[in-house]
Amino acid sequence: MSFNAALVDRFTQMAKLMELLGEDSFKASAHARAARTIGDHPNDLESVAKGPDAKAHLTKIEGVGAKIADKIIELATTGSISELDALRSKAPVGLLAVMEIPGVGPKTAAVFWKQGGVESVADLKRIIADGSILKLPRMGAKSVEKIRESIAIVEAGAQRLHLGVAMPIAERVVGHMRAVPGVSNVAFAGSLRRGKETVGDLDVLVCTNDPSSAASAFVGMHGVLQVIAQGESKCSVRMAIRSDNGRWGGDDAGSATGAEASIQVDLRVIDEERWGAALMYFTGSKEHNVRLRERALKLGLTLNEYGVFPEDPSTVEPPQQRGVPSIASRTEHEVYASLGMAWVPPELREDRGEIDAFAEAASESDPVSAGGKLARRKRGASTGHEPPASAATGHARGVPRLVELQDIKAELHAHTTASDGVMSIVELATAAKRRGFHTIAVTDHSRSSAVAGGLSPERLREHIRDVREAGAQVQGIRILAGSEVDILSGGELDYDDDLLAELDIVVASPHAALSQDSATATRRLLKAIEHPLVHILGHPTGRLINRRAGLSPDVPALVQAAKALDVALEINTHWFRLDLRDTHARVVAEHEALVAINSDVHAPEDFDNLRYGVATAKRGWITAAACVNTWTQPALLAWLKKKR
C-alpha cells in the first residue's frame, strides 16, 4: 500500500471511529475530508512528510490543517498514529465493517455494539439469526430484513463497476425508457455522467406525464432481478450484470458465493420545470453540491433539488412546498447562471476547484471579483509549480476549452495480428479511417512482451516494410510505423536505438515489474521519458482498475520531465486501465504538458472506448490543445519528426 493509500485508510478509520463513539461530528468529517483530498493527491506524500518544511507543505493541501499535518508526519516517521491507536482501543475494529453495510450508520452500529454486544459482522448475523436483534430500539421486522439482505449483497462481493461495464447498461435503460409512452425526456446522472472510473449504482431521470406507466415499464425491464421499491416518484431495482473483461480474462461478477452479480438502478420521475435542478442534484458529486449550496447561501439564496430560491428565514418547510417560485430550475445552465457561474461540465463536478474557476469565468467582466480567486485557493503541496495562467492553453475567458470526443482525429497506439491484435494493418487502417481519423499508428509489442507476441528486431524490420506497403494501399489516412516498446525494469528500452530511429513513432510502456517501489518506478519511467527517441509514455502506471494497483511514480516529476522534453503522457482509454487516471491528468493540465488519448486498439470495438478516455481527460481539465490526438495531421507529423 502506498503511503497515500495508508493515510486514506487511517483517516477514514479515524472518522468512522469518531462517528461511532459519538465524538464531534465536524471533527469526524474533517478527517473524512482530509482522507478524500489526500486520495486525490497525485504525488506520494511520504517524502514530503519526511522532508524539510513538511508541515508548511502539507497544510497547503485542502482540508489539511496543523493537526492533521502532524498526524501525517507522525505516520511517516513512526509508522503509526497514536490518536488512531487510542480510538481503536475504545471500540472494536470489527464494527467498521458493520458500518459498511448499507442502511447501518454509526448510530445503529453503536446500538448493536453497546446494547447487543455486536463487535463484528459475524456477531450481527448471529443476533439476527437468534432474533435477539428485535429487542434493540427501533429494530422492527422490516429493518432487520433489510439489514439481512444488505449483508448478503456486501458478502456477494459487491464492488463498484467499471465505467465501461456500467455505461452500456445505463444506455440500455435510457433507450428502454425513451420508448415508453408519455415520456418526454430521459437522462442518466450520478457518477456515470461524471465519467468516474467506477460506478456504484445508476441513476436515471425521466420526465413523463404518466408516472405509473413509466414505473411499470422500468420494473418490467429485461434483466431486472429484484424490485426494491416502486412508487410514483422513485423506483429502485437490481439488474443483472453481464461483463466481459476481454483480453484480461475473468469478469466483474466474480462472486464466490454464487449470487448473481447485480447493480442497483434508481429511476426518478422529475417535473419538467425542475429538470435542470434535479439533473444537477442527482449528478453530484455530493461535495460539488455542498459547495454550490454554500455559495448560494453567501449570495442570499437557497439551492435544493427543486431549484434556486430566495433565502428564507423560515426553516420549517422547504420553499417549494410553500409555493415560493424558484429563481432558476429548468436547465442546468439557468441554475449555474443564477449562482453567478458558467455551466460546469459534469466531469469536473468533484469539488476540485471548479466552483471558483467557473464563477470567475462568469464574472470576468467584473475586475474586482475576478482577480485572485484561484491563487487564493489552496493548491496541492510540493509540486513546486504554480498552476499556469489560464490564457495559454486553450482557456477562453477563464474556462478551459476541454477536449471533446469529436476533437480526436488520430489513434497513436494500436496492435495488429503481427502481435496480439485481431486486425491486419489494412483492416486497422480502414477501421480508423471509418472513424474519421486522419492518422493511425501501428504499434505492435516489442520482443520482451512474449505472451503478447512481441516482435523480434528482425520481425519488426519486416513489419515496418509491411506498414509502408499498406500505406500505399489504403488512401485517405496516414499509417505510421511504430512500436509499443517495453520499458524494462531498469528503464532501458526493448530495442536498440538504431532500430527505434527507423520508426515514425515510439510509445514506451511498462508491462512487467509493476510492483516496484515508488522511487524505483519514478527513475525507471523518467529514464524512458528522457530517451531521445520516445514520443509517448504509454499507460504509465500499468494499473488495472479493481485488479492491480500498478506503479506509483512521482507523477509531478514525470510531468515536469515530459513537459521539458516534449513527450506526451498517455491516457489509455480502455475502461480497465484509464491510465493516466483523472487526478494524474490534472497534474499534466496544470503544467501545460501534453497528453495522448489512445485506445490501445486490439480489436475494432476498442475504438469505442475512446469516450471513457476523453471523460478521464476532462476530469483532469485537459484541453483540446493539450491533446496531441486533436492536432491536424501536419502538426502531429511535425511533432513526431522533432525526435527523428
Tell me whether residue 333 or residue 377 sits nearer to DNA (CB atom): 377
Q: How many residues bind DNA (CB under 7 A)?
A: 69
Counting contacts by CB under 7 A, is residue 85 touching DNA? no
Phi (first) and psi of residue 295, to 5 degrees: -65, -45
Minimum gap (Å) between residue 112 Cβ and DNA = 9
Its sign, for the CA torsion 430, 574, 531, 380, is positive
C-alpha cell of residue 272: 419538467
Tell me whether residue 144 or residue 513 sits nearer to DNA (CB atom): 144
Phi (first) and psi of residue 550, to 5 degrees: 75, -165
Tell me if residue 436 falls in helix, strand or coil: coil
Counting contacts by CB under 7 A, is residue 146 touching DNA? yes
Q: According to CB under 7 A, which residues from 357 to 376 bind DNA?
A: 368-369, 371-373, 376
Q: According to CB under 7 A, which residues from 99 to 138 bind DNA?
A: 101-109, 137-138
Q: According to CB under 7 A, which residues from 50 to 79 bind DNA?
A: 59, 62-69
Q: Which stretch binds DNA (CB under 7 A): 298-306, 465-473, 600-608, 616-624?
A: 298-306
The kind and range of the H/E element at 267 are: strand 262-269
Tell me whether residue 381 or residue 589 sits nearer to DNA (CB atom): 381
Among 7, 17, 34, 460, binds DNA (CB under 7 A): 34
Residue linked to cell 442502511: 103
Q: According to CB under 7 A, which residues from 156 to 215 bind DNA?
A: 190, 200-201, 203
**Alpha carbons 107 and 105: distance in angstroms, whole number:** 6
Counting contacts by CB under 7 A, is residue 420 touching DNA? no
Counting contacts by CB under 7 A, is residue 313 touching DNA? no
Scanning 363-482, the segments in alpha helix (DSSP H) are 367-370, 373-376, 425-434, 457-473
Cβ-based neighbour number of residue 353 at 10 Å: 18
Q: Which stretch binds DNA (CB under 7 A): 303-311, 445-453, 462-470, 500-508?
A: 303-311
Among 117, 168, 231, 436, binds DNA (CB under 7 A): 231
Minimum gap (Å) between residue 458 Cβ and DNA = 57
Tell me whether residue 5 or residue 153 sits nearer to DNA (CB atom): 153
Counting contacts by CB under 7 A, is residue 303 touching DNA? yes
How far CA 383 is from CA of 52, 60, 536, in Å, comes to 14, 11, 22
Q: Which one-letter DSSP state was computed for residue 387?
A: P
Tell me whether residue 113 or residue 607 sits nearer to DNA (CB atom): 113
Counting contacts by CB under 7 A, is residue 22 touching DNA? no
User: Please, are residues 572 and 578 in contact by the beta-carbon 8 Å criterion?
Assistant: yes
Q: Which stretch binds DNA (CB under 7 A): 173-181, 290-298, 335-343, 604-612?
A: 290-298
Those residues whose C-beta lies under 8 Å from the C-beta of residue 389, and which sit 6 or more positions away, are none
Cβ-based neighbour number of residue 547 at 10 Å: 13
C-alpha cell of residue 260: 448473481
Minimum gap (Å) between residue 573 Cβ and DNA = 27
Minimum gap (Å) between residue 483 Cβ and DNA = 45
How far CA 234 is from CA of 176, 191, 219, 267, 286, in Å, comes to 17, 19, 11, 6, 19
Tell me if residue 322 falls in helix, strand or coil: helix
Minimum gap (Å) between residue 152 Cβ and DNA = 15
Counting contacts by CB under 7 A, is residue 319 touching DNA? yes
Among 6, 27, 213, 246, binds DNA (CB under 7 A): 27
Among 9, 74, 83, 502, binds DNA (CB under 7 A): 83
Q: What 3 state SS string does 117-163 have?
A: CCCCHHHHHHHHHCCHHHHCCCCCHHHHHHHHHHHHHHHCCCCCEEH
**Alpha carbons 382 and 61: distance in angstroms, whole number:** 10
Tell me whether residue 106 or residue 394 sits nearer to DNA (CB atom): 106
DSSP letter string over 332-355?
A: HHHHHHHTT-PPPPGGGTTTSSHH
Tell me whether residue 51 or residue 103 sits nearer to DNA (CB atom): 103
Minimum gap (Å) between residue 625 Cβ and DNA = 30
Tell me whether residue 297 or residue 564 sits nearer to DNA (CB atom): 297
Binding site for DNA (CB under 7 A): 24, 26-27, 29-31, 34, 59, 62-69, 83, 101-109, 137-144, 146, 190, 200-201, 203, 229, 231, 233-234, 282, 284, 286, 289-290, 293-294, 296-298, 302-306, 318-321, 368-369, 371-373, 376, 378
